[in-house]
Amino acid sequence: MTARDTRGPGSDRRPRSDWPYQKGRDPLGRIPTPPPDDPIEIMRGDWALGRLDRHPVKRLLDIRGGIGRGEVNDREDVARLETLLAHTGHRDLTGTKGPTGLFGGPQENAIRDFQRDQGLREDGILRPGGETLTTLAKTLAAKRRAAQTRRAAAPNPAADLGFPALGTATKPPQDAQPQAPTDPPVTVGGKEGGNHQQATRSRPGWKRRPDPIQVAKTHMVKNLKAMRHLGYSRAEKHLKHYLEGSGKDIIYSREEMREVPQFREAERINKSRFEKSFTGEQKQTPGDVKKKYVEKIKNMKDGGKEKLEIDEWDSKYTDISQILLGDTGFALAFGDTHLNSKGSFEAKRKGNLVYIYGTVTHRLDDPYDFEKHQPGGYDALVLEDSGLATRFKMKAEWKQNVAGTVSIEDDKYGNSRVTNPRFDWTDVDPE
């Protein structure tokens, strides 16, 4: 008789490799009892049956050795940590069907995520008595107290995103039936027209379905913390303004715009395009009005004046291109944006010189909004639909006076050409 047969007929003891915890019951319909000598298998079995509440948080916090790269990584300690981080929302045990007790990348990332959210040093290591474990204990205690308070006070589900003026929750229907403050009612006889009896008994392992609004707010708070940690001050400012929900435009001054390298470069590029438009050096599309500048200037007679058509240029930036270039802060703050420069000019010819003068207006007028496919876009749209976030515009406008000359010369074939552009740009004050 083999070792397995010595357990006796009908025994519930089975090899761990085929223990059917994930099914909840064994092939005979009985709830399996995990092998008593392996606490990790016990926790996995309780997770499969929705009974992890049998393991008190105080007991789970009793971690005896360090967890992380180069640490002890005792399997039972790792399993306890996985369960604790599942309570805080930093570890998803669905894919592994419960705690594994094996330290690896997912566990290290979960520790780092928790440390990042709590403003701790992100080393991916947890030690007994260390600040990470202490903070974890405080977080779980605060979460437990908050849950008790919510049950007692039935709070507004849209409360406390971390900054003011974020709207209120929708009122429940007047005919809504009150429910037990702790556990959901269990419906019996669910067929249409059947006997719909309600019972408020507790369902073991039942978990409240996450509120999508609360999930979206949580993600946005994490985004704000990450922007602050990385030093993306403008991105943090814009996102916080969006979440405050006033919808009021954010207006930048001329100096503030020039502090941003992309807008400073955009202004320089657009100014160069204006100057090259007068000599025909700037590439144009066929039939473009701006191409007539050169012809008008060449055909001017000595002493003649011409009013030139309004000229306009755009310098555009996409969020993807800026991320690829390494400026994620600009991409998060402004997204797809552009600086528009529009000018009107007059020209007067004296001899072979043509004097050109006019005014150019530089303008930023872009919306701060989200698309569903963008990172964080789904959460943002959930908050918008709930009235907890509002789009706004980022605006700036300043003017410059332009004065300069170009020369009209004949080439060796007797054809006139416009050369030697010289221009001065001066800011118009006040802005």
Establish if 387 belongs to a structural domain: no
pLDDT of residue 12: 42
User: Out of 26-30, 250-254, 307-311, 331-335, which region has the weakest mean confidence (pLDDT)?
Assistant: 26-30
Q: Is residue 109 part of a domain?
A: yes
The mean pLDDT of 324-344, rounded to a whole number, is 89
Cα–Cα distances in Å, from 107 out to 57, 77, 232, 365?
18, 12, 28, 45
Answer yes or no: is pLDDT of 230 > 80: yes
How much is the pLDDT for 193?
39
- DSSP annotation string for 341-382: EEEEEEEEEETTEEEEEEEEEEEEEEEE---TTSTTHHHHHH
- Residue 133 in any domain: the answer is yes
Choose among 308, 264, 310: nearest CA to 406: 308
Are residues 137 and 259 both part of a single domain?
Answer: no
In a domain, 172, yes or no: no
Q: Which of left, alpha, beta for 386 (phi over 0: left; psi -120 to 50: alpha)?
A: alpha
Q: What is the pLDDT of residue 252?
A: 94
Of the candidate ranges 2-11, 210-219, 224-233, 239-248, the one whose mean pLDDT is the lowest = 2-11
The per-residue pLDDT for 157 is: 35
Output the pLDDT for position 249: 93
Least confident of 34-48, 90-104, 142-156, 269-283: 142-156
Residue where a domain stops, chosen among 112, 142, 172: 142
What pLDDT is attached to residue 291? 54
Give me the number of domains the chain comprises: 2
pLDDT in the model for residue 211: 82
pTM confidence score: 0.51
Range of the domain at 31: 14-142
Q: What H or E segment, with its residue span, contains residue 110? A: helix 105-117
Domain membership of residue 204 (yes or no) is: no
Judgement on whether residues 422 and 278 belong to the same structural domain of the protein: yes
Return d(Cα 345, Cα 89) in angstroms, integer.
62
Does the structure show a pLDDT above 80 at 63?
yes
The pLDDT, as a whole number, for residue 413 is 77
User: Where among 125, 142, 159 does a domain terminate?
Assistant: 142
Residue of 399 and 89 predicted with greater confidence = 399
Question: Is residue 383 a part of any domain in this protein?
Answer: no
Overall average pLDDT of the 167-182 stretch: 40
Among residues 104, 120, 142, the one where a domain terminates is 142
Minimal CA–CA distance to 362: which of 414, 321, 401, 305?
401
User: Do residues 240 and 184 make contact, with C-beta atoms less than 8 angstroms apart?
Assistant: no
Side-chain half-sphere CA neighbours of 415 within 13 A: 4
- The whole-number average pLDDT for the span 291-301 is 77
Q: Are both 402 and 263 inside the same structural domain?
A: yes
Report yes or no on 231 lying in a domain: no
pLDDT at 201: 45
Task: Return the higher-pLDDT residue of 63 and 32.
Answer: 63
Residue 142 backbone zone (phi > 0: left; psi -120 to 50: alpha; other: beta): alpha
Q: Tell me the mean pLDDT in the region 293-315.
A: 84
* pLDDT (0 to 100) of residue 164: 36
Average pLDDT, the chain: 76
Same domain, 397 and 271: yes
Distance from C-alpha of 256 to C-alpha of 263, rounded to nearest angstrom: 10
Contact 196, 253 (CB under 8 A): no
Matching residue, tokens 């779980």: 140
How far is the C-alpha of 340 from the C-alpha of 337, rounded, in Å? 10
Distance CA 236, CA 242 (A): 10
Confidence of residue 418 (pLDDT cuts 50, 70, 90): confident
Asked whether residue 131 falls in the same domain as residue 255, the answer is no
**CA 426, CA 97: separation in Å to the nearest integer?**
68
Is residue 230 one of the residues assigned to a domain? no
